[in-house]
């Protein structure tokens, strides 16, 4: 599978999500979509990132933007994480790395002195027509939501 770059149309995808849903890109036609990829449910950085999106959800909605979190965790794990954190958006389970490969977010990372394959924290903004308009890689959790909202206001 090839990867997608800014300015290109994102191929339709379909993945299992929280709420017993099967979500696809086509489900968000006419809206902007922010896909944020994170390494693992219930870890400190991933929790803070999700909470930041949760706490700013009204600003995203005012800018006609839906949010989906994506990791390789199971839907069952996602359900617990979403419930515990009261996330007002769905989480996609990408256990076969279909979406991770499309957006090239699987990287070799150092963890406790060992090389491991994992998701590099990244976000992608798709416009109302399904075109990738912005990407953020190696995301810093503390400032990320503000960066995304600024980019949305400039579109």
Rounded Cα–Cα distance for residues 153 and 155 (Å):
6
Catalytic residue among 10, 33, 46, 105, which? 46
DSSP secondary structure of 15-27? EEETTTEEEEGGG
Parallel/antiparallel/unpaired status of strands 21-24 and 14-17: antiparallel
The answer to whether 141 touches 123, Cβ cutoff 8 Å, is no
Concerning whether 83 is annotated as a catalytic residue, the answer is: no
The answer to whether 155 touches 133, Cβ cutoff 8 Å, is yes
Give 76-109 as a 3 state SS string. Answer: HHHHHHHHHHCCCCEEEECCCCHHHHHCCCEEEE
DSSP state of 136: E
Instruction: Return the active site residues.
Output: 46
């Amino acid at each position: 599978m090839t990867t997608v770059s800014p300015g290109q149309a994102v191929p339709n995808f379909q993945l299992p999500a929280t709420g017993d849903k099967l979500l696809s890109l086509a489900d968000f036609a006419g809206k902007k979509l922010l896909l944020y990829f994170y390494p693992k449910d219930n870890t400190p950085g991933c929790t803070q990132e999700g909470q930041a999106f949760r706490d700013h959800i009204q600003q995203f909605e005012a800018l006609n933007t839906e949010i989906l979190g994506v990791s390789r965790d199971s839907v069952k794990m996602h359900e617990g994480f979403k419930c515990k954190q009261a996330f007002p958006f769905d989480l996609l389970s990408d256990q076969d790395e279909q979406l991770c490969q499309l957006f090239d977010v699987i990287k070799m990372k150092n963890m406790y002195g060992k090389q491991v394959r994992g998701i590099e924290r990244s976000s992608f903004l798709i416009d109302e027509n399904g075109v990738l308009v912005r990407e953020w890689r190696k995301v810093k959790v503390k400032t990320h939501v503000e960066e995304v909202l600024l980019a949305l206001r400039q579109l």
